[in-house]
Amino acid sequence: MANSNTNILTPEKNGVNVSEDLKYSFPDTRGYFGSFGGKFVPEILIPALDQLESEYNVVKTDPDFNKERFHHLKEYVGRPTPLTLASRLTEHYGTGKIYFKREDLCHTGAHKINNTIGQVMLAKRMGKKRIIAETGAGQHGVATATVCARFGLECVVYMGEEDMRRQKLNVDRMKLLGAEVRGVTSGSRTLKDATNEAIRDWVTNVEDTFYIIGSAVGPHPYPMMVRDFHDVIGLETESQCLEIEGRLPDYVLACVGGGSNAIGIFYRFINDKNVKLIGLEAAGEGETTGKTAATFAKGKPGVLHGSLSYLLQTPQGQIALAHSISAGLDYPGVGPEHAHLFDTGRVKYYPVSDKDAMAAVKRCSEMEGIIPAIETAHAIAWLEKLMPSLSKDEIVVLNCSGRGDKDMGTISEYFYGS
């Protein structure tokens, strides 16, 4: 399916201020989405967050900033990404029509770079010389190291040593891109420990350092900013679906880790009440087992990484270790905007197991010639539940958040035992 609408990325045509034409206007001035969000950080960081917020409020509607941003998205990231009819999966189910929004075709292989481009531009504009980030699986670290190389900024990425061992290829990618990867040896030596270390660095070097957060999480204004930088996904989907089908989709599906690819494609449609929005979270070995990352099915409100949201917790209220076969969904929290959309019922969230996701990796590879990221496969798996209940002419758009090349180690081990 060809997309002839290659010029849909002009801000003039689409309007750069995404919230202007939406009545939904969260977050409020305190950074809350209903009861969730806020700024739960050491007091020393409040001025930095305030400065970031006021700078962002300027660039958000600044035509020059957005013109440049959209230029990078087109010339460097490769946008717009196509909306591809998944024709054999569509035929297979025999009901509805399935389209993939192809974020897997973005430079670096996933949606994450939409956000890192926006934040690095902001950092440059604010005169920051140094970028820090934390990474779990390494995907956000790679997306950050990539834009730092492109924009000529110093880059330090914090990563737990356990994660460094598991994700050596991404560590080497970051090094090759010129970033310094700092191993973290505290705690479980994984993402949450790397995040603590990144925050410690930020507190110490707040004058010249910009902290690039990789999902729709963290203290205000990050969840809003990350959402806005990913809104291009929904913006394109809307006009592509109108062009191809003459109307909006009936369903939009996306996997949810912290929630950035999902909010990116959902945000446009929040006020279109006929568009049903579905988020798929990682059940791991099952949402009733201890080895899960199903934040909505199993979590309770709590504070993590600077904001109040749903969170997997131990009976004592400490942060529980998450589990998912997909590194990108292996996170005990979720962005505060999703917590609000969950509580209001505007978005439905369902858990999908490791097993069902892996079966979907295989099905999609064999039937569409697209090897999806294991994260994405959680959304693809849900088609098994959704499609039988649909009528023939209903339209489903699934956000194909990334490609599976990065997961070939896990996939080989799972299917071929090597």
Ligand X SMILES: *Cc1c(COP(=O)(O)O)cnc(C)c1O
Collect all residues with Cβ–Cβ distance below 8 Å to 20 and sequence separation of at least 6.
Answer: none
How many angstroms separate the CA atoms of 111 and 113, rounded? 6
Residue with tokens 């039937």: 367
Note the maximum CA span of the chain: 58
**Site map 33..72 versus ligand X, x via CB under 6 A:** ----------------------------------------
Q: Give the interface segment with ligand X, choosing from 22-30, 170-178, 199-207, 253-261 (CB under 6 A).
A: 253-261
Task: Candidates 259, 299, 332, 333: give the one binding ligand X (CB under 6 A).
Answer: 259
309 touching ligand X, by CB under 6 A: no
Counted residue by residue, the chain has a size of 418
Residue 115 beta carbon to ligand X: minimum distance, rounded to whole angstroms: 9
User: Which C-beta is closer to ligand X: that of 280 or that of 386?
Assistant: 280
Q: Which residue is associated with the tokens 């900033």? A: 65
Query: Residue 402: how many CB atoms within 10 A of its CB?
Result: 27
Give min distance, CB of 243 to ligand X, in A: 25
Q: Residue 80's closest CA among 243, 207, 205?
A: 243
For position 139 contacting ligand X by CB under 6 A, the verdict is yes
Please identify which of the residues 39, 60, 103, 134 carries the catalytic annotation.
134
For residue 55, CA distances in Å to 21, 63, 89, 206, 209 come to 22, 14, 45, 15, 15
Q: Is 195 in the site for ligand X (CB under 6 A)?
A: no
Instruction: Choose the binding region for ligand X from 8-16, 69-77, 81-89, 254-262 (rule: CB under 6 A).
Output: 254-262
Is there a catalytic annotation at residue 401? yes
Using CB under 6 A as the binding rule, whether residue 108 contacts ligand X is answered as: no
Contact between 185 and 191 (Cβ < 8 Å): no
Asked if residue 332 binds ligand X (CB under 6 A), the reply is no
Q: Which of 90, 239, 261, 292 binds ligand X (CB under 6 A)?
A: 261
Q: Is 257 a binder of ligand X (CB under 6 A)?
A: yes
243: amino acid identity, one letter: E
Stretch that binds ligand X, among 45-53, 89-97, 233-241, 259-267 (CB under 6 A): 259-267
Stretch that binds ligand X, among 30-38, 252-260, 280-288, 290-298 (CB under 6 A): 252-260
Is 134 a residue of the active site?
yes
364 makes contact with ligand X (CB under 6 A): no
- Phi/psi-derived region of residue 107, left when phi > 0, alpha when psi is between -120 and 50, beta in every other case: beta
Q: How, if at all, do strands 36-37 and 32-33 pair?
A: antiparallel
Determine, following the binding rule CB under 6 A, whether residue 375 of this chain makes contact with ligand X: yes
Q: 218 or 328, CB closer to ligand X?
A: 328
Choose, from 39, 112, 276, 406, the residue flagged as catalytic. 112
Q: Are 170 and 406 in contact, with CB atoms under 8 Å apart? A: yes
CB of 253 to ligand X, least distance (A): 13
In whole angstroms, the minimum distance from the beta carbon of 401 to ligand X comes to 3
Q: Is 204 exposed, middle or buried (0-12, 13-18, 19+ CB in 10 A)?
A: exposed
Question: Using CB under 6 A, which residues numbered 76 to 105 contact ligand X?
Answer: none
Upper half-sphere CA count for residue 207 (Cβ side, 13 Å): 1
5, 216, 372, 1 alpha-carbon torsion, rounded to 10°:
-10
As given in the structure block, the two tokens for residue 238 are 């809307």
Tokens 């035992």, residue located = 417
Closest C-alpha among 76, 101, 379 to residue 240: 101
What whole-number distance in Å separates Cα of residue 367 and Cα of residue 86?
9
When the beta carbons of 148 and 390 are compared against ligand X, the nearer one is: 148
326 is catalytic: no
C-beta of 126 vs 321, nearer to ligand X? 321
Task: For the segment 211-250, give every residue that binds ligand X (CB under 6 A).
Answer: 215
User: Shortest gap between Cβ of 378 and ligand X (angstroms)?
Assistant: 9
Which residue of the chain is nearest ligand X when measured via CB?
A: 402
* Active-site annotation, residues: 112, 134, 401
Binding site for ligand X (CB under 6 A): 110, 112, 139, 215, 255-262, 328-329, 373, 375-376, 401-402
